[in-house]
Amino acid sequence: MDCLGDQQGRSSSASVLARCCSWEAVQRRLPFLYWIPKYSLQWLQLDLIAGLTVGLTVVPQALAYAEVAGLPVEFGLYSSFVGCFIYCLFGTSKDVTLGPTAIMSLLVAVYTSSDKSLAILLAFLSGCIQLVMGLLNFGFLLDFISYPVIKAFTSAAAITIGFSQVKNLLGLKDIPRQFVLQVYETFHKLSSTRFGDAILGFLCIAFLLALKWVKDHFPRTYRGMPRCYRFSYIIIWVTTTARNAIVVVAAGLVAYSFEVMGLSPFVLTGKTAEGLPQFHLPPFSETVGNRTVSFSEMVQKIGVGLFIIPMMGVLESVAIARAFSSQNNYRINTNQELLAIGLSNILGSFLSSYTVTGSFGRTALNSQTGVCTPAGGILTGLLVLFSLEYLTPLFYYIPKAALAAVIICAVAPMFDMKICKELWKVKRIDLLPFLATFFLSFWEIQYGIIIGILISLIIVCIPVAQPKIKTTDTGGLHMMVMSGLSFPAMEYLRDAIYKTAFEVSPPRSLNLDFSHVNVLDYSVVIGLQELIHEFQSQGLSLSFSGLQSEVLRILLAADLDGFKHLQNIGSGVHYEEECTEPLLHNVNKSQNH
Amino acid sequence: MDCLGDQQGRSSSASVLARCCSWEAVQRRLPFLYWIPKYSLQWLQLDLIAGLTVGLTVVPQALAYAEVAGLPVEFGLYSSFVGCFIYCLFGTSKDVTLGPTAIMSLLVAVYTSSDKSLAILLAFLSGCIQLVMGLLNFGFLLDFISYPVIKAFTSAAAITIGFSQVKNLLGLKDIPRQFVLQVYETFHKLSSTRFGDAILGFLCIAFLLALKWVKDHFPRTYRGMPRCYRFSYIIIWVTTTARNAIVVVAAGLVAYSFEVMGLSPFVLTGKTAEGLPQFHLPPFSETVGNRTVSFSEMVQKIGVGLFIIPMMGVLESVAIARAFSSQNNYRINTNQELLAIGLSNILGSFLSSYTVTGSFGRTALNSQTGVCTPAGGILTGLLVLFSLEYLTPLFYYIPKAALAAVIICAVAPMFDMKICKELWKVKRIDLLPFLATFFLSFWEIQYGIIIGILISLIIVCIPVAQPKIKTTDTGGLHMMVMSGLSFPAMEYLRDAIYKTAFEVSPPRSLNLDFSHVNVLDYSVVIGLQELIHEFQSQGLSLSFSGLQSEVLRILLAADLDGFKHLQNIGSGVHYEEECTEPLLHNVNKSQNH
C-alpha cells in the first residue's frame, strides 16, 4: 500500500502514518529489500558480467555524449556512476541503467547553451521536480504522451544528434548549433574537410557497423559445443559487445602514434580534468566575467527546459523500463521510477553530473547479458570511477572523429520512418501528431513535443466534443445528452439546441435531460447560463431534468440566473415514461434578487 | 451549404462545384448580401450614430495601443480602418469592430520586439493563416480552448499591459519589457518620477473613472422627458461616451499651453508621420544597418508568435462575436469570421497595419449605441482616415501620460479574480488550468496559453483514461471494455489485465470483449501487441471478440503477431449469452511466417 495513494483519503491520519511506516511501505520505497534476501552466487556471477559489459560501453559513450551536450568530456563520466548506485537501491526494473543519453545530452545542449554551471543546476532542479512528481504519484501524466509523438521526437532527435556529429567526423569548425543553420553551414564548408578526420571517422563507422552485423548474425552458443569453438565464440562476443570501447581505444592508439611521429592529422579531445569530481553544492549562482549571474537569472536562461527536461527524462526512462519489464515479465512502479531518477539527478548534481535518464542501448545490452538484479550497476559505476581516477590522462589522444562515429552508430537505429507507413495503414489521423512533432522538433524541440501532445489530445477529445444527443417531441421538446459534457462539447450542444428550439417557427421551450451526464465543467456551466438567458430573452424557458447529484451540486453552486430543474421520480434512465408527471422545482434566482 | 463541408465528401465534383457557385454559397461568403436588400433609412441613422461613437473611441485608443505594441503612434491608426471596411463586407456579426486591441498589441510587442517591418509581415502571415483556417473550416479548433484558460490569460494580460504603462504615467525611462524585470526596475526608479507626468496621468485616470461612473449610473432616457432634460441628457451621454477623446484632447491642450510658455513638464508623443499610409507589399525582407535580413530570418525571429498570434486573434474576435450574437439573438458563422479577420489582416498589411482583431470595448459600445448592420464600421473607418489626413500634426502635443491613462482604464475591467471564487465553488479542478495559465503568462505568454490548454484537455481526458471494464468468469476469463480506447487508457487497461490474468495463480488466458469499443488508436494497437506477446511468453493466449468493423480493420491492418479474434453471432451487445458458442477465427500471424 502506498502512503500517498488516493484510496486512503478518508482514513485517519494515525492509520496513514502507521501504514507509511509499515514494512511494506519501506519495501515499496526501497525495492532492493525485495531481492536482497534471495540474492545468490549465480545471480552475482551474471550481474558481474552484465555490469562489466555495460561499463565497457558506457565509458566511450559517456565521452561522446558529453560532446553532444557541448560539455567537456569528463562530464560524461561524472554523469555515469551516481545513477548506477542510486538505481540499485531505488529502482524497480532489473534491466534499466541510468546515465547520459543521446537525447538528454541534446536537450541539455539546447537549454543550457553548453554552460557547465547551468547544466549541473538543471540536473538538480530536474531531479527535484521528478522527485516531487514521484511523491505526488504524478506518474499517470506520462500516459498522456502518445506513441506517435514519442516516435516522431526520437526520429527527429536521431537526425539532429547524428547531423551534429558530421562536423566532428569531417573536422569542420565554427558550425552553429541551430539545426537549419547547421545543415547549411556544414554543406557550405564541406570543401574545408580535414582528410585525416574524415578517413578515420568513416573507418570507425565501417568497423562499428561490421561488428554490429557480426553480433546480430552470429549463431547462438549451445551446450554441447566443443571447447575451442566455445573459446572463439567468447572472443567474438566480447569483441562485438565492447565494440565502442575497442574502436575508441584503437583510434586513440593510432592518434598517439601519429603524435609521437610529430604529425597531427586528427582533431583530438585534448586536455581533460583528471580524477574524481569533488562533492559540493550545485551552483545556485555563477560568475561570468566580472558579473554574478543570480539564481533567478539562471532559471530564466533554462526557461521551458525546466519543464521539458524532467518530463522527457522520466518519459525516456519509464518507456524503457516498461518495454523491458514487459519483455522479461515483471512489473515496474512508475512513481517509484520517478523517485529513483529524481534522486539520481539530485545526488548527481552534487558530483557535477548533468541530467541522466535510462539509456535504451545500454539497458538492452544489460538485459541481453542476462542481468538478474539492479546490483549489476554497482560494477558499472565502479568501472566509471576507475576510468576517472586512472584513465583521464589517456583521453587526450582520443580523436573526436572516433567519438562522432560512436554517436552516429548509436543514434542511427532510433531513426524509424517505417511507422509512417504503419500509421497510414492502421490509423491515418495519428499521422498528424507524428508529422507535427517530427517537423517542429527540428525548429524547436519543445514546440515539437508540446504541440504533438496537444494534437493527439485533441484527437482523443473529438468524440468528447460531439456527444450523442437524442431529441424527442412528445408534448414538449426534450433533448437527452448521452454522455458527460466537457468544454469541447459546448458549441456542439449549442448548435443542436439552436437547430431544435430556435430555428423552428415559432421558437420553443426546451427540456434538457441530463440523466446520462456525469461530468460537467465550468466552461459548460457558463455556456448553459448564456443559453438560459437566450431562452428568457425570447420569452421561452430552458429547464433541466434527470440531474445526477454531482451535476446538480455544480449547477446550484454556480448560482445560475433563471435555473429551473425538474426532479424525476426514479432514476431518470427511462426518461420518456417518467417525465410525464414531473415535479417542477423552479429555482429561478432572478426572482429572489 | 458550405462547399468545403465534410458531409459533401461523397458527392461528385460537378455538384460540389455547382453548390460552391450557387447564390447561397455566394451569400454565405459575402454576408452583406443578406442585409443590403433590407437596408432602411432608420438603420442608416442608427448605424451613423454608432459609427461616429466608435470612431471617437478608436482614434485615441489606436494611438495608445500603438504605444503598447512599441510602434510609432500612427501605426495604431493605420491598423484601425481596413478592418472596418472589410468586416462590413465579410463579417457575420453586426456588432463586432475590428482594429488594434490591448492584448494583440501586447502580443505584437512580445513577438516582434517592436520592429515595424516584422509587425507588418506578421499581420500578413497571420492573415494568411487565419484565411486558410477559415477556408478549411478549422474554426472548431477554438472549441478546445476552455473558459478558465481564456479568463486567466485575459487577467494576466490586463496586469501586464496596465503595468507596462506605469512608466509612461510616471515619466520613467529605460524600463525593460520583460514583466518581472519591469516591475523590479519600475519600483527601483520610482524616485526619478517626473511630477508633471504623474500629476497629469493620475488626473486623467480620475477623470476617466468619474465619467465612466456617471455613464453607468445615469438614468435612462424615456419618451415623455421634457426637452431641456433631454438636451442635457444628450450632452452628458456624448461626454461620457467620448471620454477617451475628450481626455486626450484636453491633455493635449494643456501640454500645448505649457509648450507655448516654453515649459515642458510632460513627455510628449512627438513627431509622427503625417498623412495616409502608402499602399505597398508587406516587407518580405528588411535592411538593418548595412545587412539584409532575409524572409526566413524574419520568420525565425517571430518564432512561435506565428502560431499564437493568429490563434489569439481569432479567439478574441470569435469570443466577442459569440458573446454579442448570444446577447442580441443572431447567429455568427465561425469559419466566415475567420475569413473576415484573415482578409482584414492581409489587406491591412499592404497599408502598414499590424495585426487586428475584435475589440471588446468598442464592440460593446457599438452594440449599446444600437448599431443595425456592420455598415456602421464604414463611418468609423472614414473618421480614422480623416484623423490620419488632417489631425496627425496635432498628435505631437499629446502627453504620453494621458495615453497611459486611457490604456489603464481600458484594461482594468479585464482583470477579474472573482472567477477564482466561482471555480472553487463550482468545479475546483478547473482552477488548475486557470492558475497555470495565469502565472505562466507572466513568464512567457505562449507557455501560459499552451500549457493551460494542455491541462484542461488532460482534465477532459481523465474519464477517457479510465474506461469502465467489466470482468466475468464463466468458464473462461472475459473482460468487457465499455467505451472507446485511446492512448491515455492503455496503461489503465494493462493494469486491469495484469491484475485479472497474471496476478492470480496460475496465470490465465483472457478474452477481451470489444463490442463497445468504437475508437482505437495506434498507441493502443502497439500496447495490445505487447500484451499478446506477454501472454504468449507465458504459454497463454489473449483473444478478442465482438470487434466492430472499423476496430477489426485497424487490428488487421496492424498485422498483429499472434492476433486471434472470435466472431460473434449477432451484435455482441448481450455478451455472456452469445459468447457461449463462438466461432474461433485464429489469425495467428506467427504461424504464417
**pLDDT above 70 (res B374):** yes
Please report residues of B whose CB lies closer than 8 A to that of A538: 329
Nearest CB to B458; choose among A144, A488, A520? A144
A349 and A369 share a domain?
yes
Nearest CB to B457; choose among A331, A458, A538? A458
Contacts (Cβ under 8 Å, ≥6 apart) of A170? A186, A190, A193, A194, A197, A198, A201, A401
Residue A579, pLDDT score? 37
User: What whole-number distance in Å separates Cα of residue B301 and Cα of residue B308?
Assistant: 14
Element (H, E) at A470: strand A469-474
Report the residue of chain A nearest B463, measured CA to CA. Answer: A519
Nearest CB to A519; choose among B423, B463, B484? B463
Q: What are the C-alpha distances in Å from B331 to residues A180, A511, A534, B356?
A: 46, 21, 12, 22
* Banded model confidence at residue A542, pLDDT cuts 50, 70, 90: very high
Q: Is residue B1 part of a domain?
A: no
Residue B19, pLDDT score? 67
Closest among A212, A237, A146, A172 to A434, alpha carbons compared = A146
Last residue in a domain, options B414, B434, B450: B414
Quick check: bond before A506 cis, omega within 30?
yes
Residue B347, pLDDT score? 96
Residue B14, pLDDT score? 67
**pLDDT above 90 (res B407):** no
Nearest CB to A464; choose among B450, B454, B464? B464
Q: Which residues pair with A485 in a beta bridge?
A: A520
Residue A150, pLDDT score? 87
Buried b (16+ CB within 10 A) or exposed e, A57-73: bbbbbbbbbbbbbbbbb
B458 and B486 share a domain?
no
B383 and B402 share a domain?
yes
Last residue in a domain, options A399, A414, A429: A414
Contacts (Cβ under 8 Å, ≥6 apart) of A574? none
On whether the CB atoms of residues A318 and A363 are closer than 8 A, the answer is: no
User: What whole-number distance in Å separates Cα of residue A399 and Cα of residue A168?
Assistant: 9
Last residue in a domain, options A373, A390, A414: A414
Q: Is residue A275 part of a domain?
A: no
Please report residues of A whose CB lies closer than 8 A to that of B144: 458, 461, 465, 487-488
Boundaries of domain holding A339: 35-270+280-414
B40 and B171 share a domain?
yes
Please report residues of A whose CB lies closer than 8 A to that of B326: 530, 533-534
**pLDDT above 90 (res A261):** yes
DSSP B520: B
User: What whole-number distance in Å separates Cα of residue A281 and Cα of residue A352?
Assistant: 9
Q: pLDDT, tens digit, for every residue of B567-585?
A: 754 444 443 333 333 444 4
DSSP B122: H
Residue B574, pLDDT score? 40
Alpha carbon of A461: minimum distance to chain B alpha carbons (Å): 7
Give the mutation candidate from B178, B320, B460 for the A interface (greatest A CB count, under 10 A): B460
| Residue B453: CA count within 13 A, CB half-sphere | 24
Closest among A248, A318, A215, A309 to A62, alpha carbons compared = A248
Q: pLDDT, tens digit, for every residue of B161-195?
A: 899 889 989 988 888 877 888 898 899 999 989 99
Residue B582, pLDDT score? 40
B57 and B186 share a domain?
yes
On whether the CB atoms of residues B157 and B414 are closer than 8 A, the answer is: yes
Question: Judging by DSSP bridges, how do beta strands B563-567 and B583-587 pair with one another?
Answer: antiparallel
Q: Is residue B28 part of a domain?
A: no
A234 and A332 share a domain?
yes
Element (H, E) at B511: strand B510-513
Concatenated DSSP letters of A11-38: S-HHHHHHHHTSHHHHHHHSTHHHHGGG
Please report residues of B whose CB lies closer than 8 A to that of A304: 444, 447
What ipTM was estimated for this complex? 0.80
State mean pLDDT over A437-441: 92
Q: Is residue A386 part of a domain?
A: yes
Please report residues of A whose CB lies closer than 8 A to that of B335: none
Question: Of A61-70, A176-185, A327-336, A566-575, which gets the smallest average pLDDT?
Answer: A566-575
Sign of the Cα torsion A395, A396, A402, A407 reads positive
Alpha carbon of A328: minimum distance to chain B alpha carbons (Å): 9
Is the pLDDT higher at A296 or at A81? A81
User: What whole-number distance in Å separates Cα of residue B111 and Cα of residue B303?
Assistant: 7
| Residue A397: CA count within 13 A, CB half-sphere | 17
**pLDDT above 80 (res B18):** no
Provide the residue type at B146 as one letter. S
Cβ count near B253 (within 10 Å) = 12
B451 and B501 share a domain?
no
Distance of CA B158 to the CA centre of its chain: 15
**pLDDT above 90 (res B297):** no
Element (H, E) at A358: strand A357-358
Please report residues of B whose CB lies closer than 8 A to that of A329: 534, 537-538
Alpha carbon of B197: minimum distance to chain A alpha carbons (Å): 32
Contacts (Cβ under 8 Å, ≥6 apart) of B137? B2, B4, B5, B6, B335
Q: pLDDT, tens digit, for every residue of B39-88?
A: 999 899 889 988 988 888 899 899 989 989 999 999 999 999 999 999 99
Number of H helices, E strands in chain A: 27, 10
Distance of CA B272 to the CA centre of its chain: 31
B509 Rama sector, left if φ>0, alpha if ψ -120 to 50, beta otherwise = beta
Q: Does A526 contact B147 at a Cβ distance shorter than 8 Å?
A: yes
A378 and A440 share a domain?
no
Residue A578, pLDDT score? 36
Q: Does A450 contact B453 at a Cβ distance shorter than 8 Å?
A: no
A175 and A71 share a domain?
yes
Sign of the Cα torsion B525, B529, B530, B531 reads positive
B174 Rama sector, left if φ>0, alpha if ψ -120 to 50, beta otherwise = left
* Banded model confidence at residue B132, pLDDT cuts 50, 70, 90: very high
Q: DSSP E strands: which ranges in A186-306?
A: 286-288, 291-293
Nearest CB to B426; choose among A144, A423, A558? A558
Sign of the Cα torsion A322, A326, A327, A332 reads positive
Q: What are the C-alpha distances in Å from B35 to residues A300, B38, B122, B448?
A: 54, 5, 33, 41
Please report residues of A whose CB lies closer than 8 A to that of B490: 143
Residue A16, pLDDT score? 66
Is the pLDDT higher at A513 or at B445? A513
For B236, the grid coordinates are: 452628458
Q: Is residue A319 part of a domain?
A: yes
* Banded model confidence at residue B99, pLDDT cuts 50, 70, 90: very high
Q: DSSP E strands: which ranges in B174-307?
A: 286-288, 291-293
Residue A591, pLDDT score? 41
A169 and A114 share a domain?
yes
* Banded model confidence at residue A574, pLDDT cuts 50, 70, 90: very low
Question: Judging by DSSP bridges, how do beta strands A357-358 and A469-474 pair with one another?
Answer: unpaired
Nearest CB to A304; choose among B447, B484, B534? B447
A551 and A432 share a domain?
no
Q: Is residue B30 part of a domain?
A: no
Q: Does A530 contact B498 at a Cβ distance shorter than 8 Å?
A: no
A171 and A237 share a domain?
yes
Alpha carbon of B523: minimum distance to chain A alpha carbons (Å): 5
On whether the CB atoms of residues B281 and B321 are closer than 8 A, the answer is: no
Q: Is A585 exposed, middle or buried (0-12, 13-18, 19+ CB in 10 A)?
A: exposed
On whether the CB atoms of residues A30 and A90 are closer than 8 A, the answer is: yes
- Please state the domain count of chain A: 3
CATH of the domain at A552: 3.30.750.24
| Three-state SS sequence of A391-433 | HHHHHCCCEHHHHHHHHHHHHHHHCCCHHHHHHHHHCHHHHHH
Provide the residue type at B158 as one letter. A
User: What whole-number distance in Å separates Cα of residue A212 and Cα of residue A240?
Assistant: 6
State mean pLDDT over A292-310: 86
* Banded model confidence at residue B416, pLDDT cuts 50, 70, 90: confident
Q: Does A558 contact B422 at a Cβ distance shorter than 8 Å?
A: yes
Q: Is residue A20 part of a domain?
A: no
Please report residues of B whose CB lies closer than 8 A to that of A425: 557-558
Residue B16, pLDDT score? 67
Place of cell 537501491: A89
**pLDDT above 80 (res B10):** no
Place of cell 592529422: A265
Q: Is residue B10 part of a domain?
A: no
| Three-state SS sequence of A113-173 | CCCHHHHHHHHHHHHHHHHHHHHCCHHHHHHHCCHHHHHHHHHHHHHHHHHHCHHHHHCCC
Is the pLDDT higher at A590 or at B522? B522
Cβ count near A383 (within 10 Å) = 20
Q: What are the C-alpha distances in Å from B48 to residues A151, A480, B44, B58, B378?
A: 59, 46, 6, 15, 9
Q: pLDDT, tens digit, for every residue of A127-180?
A: 999 999 999 988 888 888 888 998 898 899 889 889 988 998 998 888 887 788
Q: Does B143 contact A490 at a Cβ distance shorter than 8 Å?
A: yes
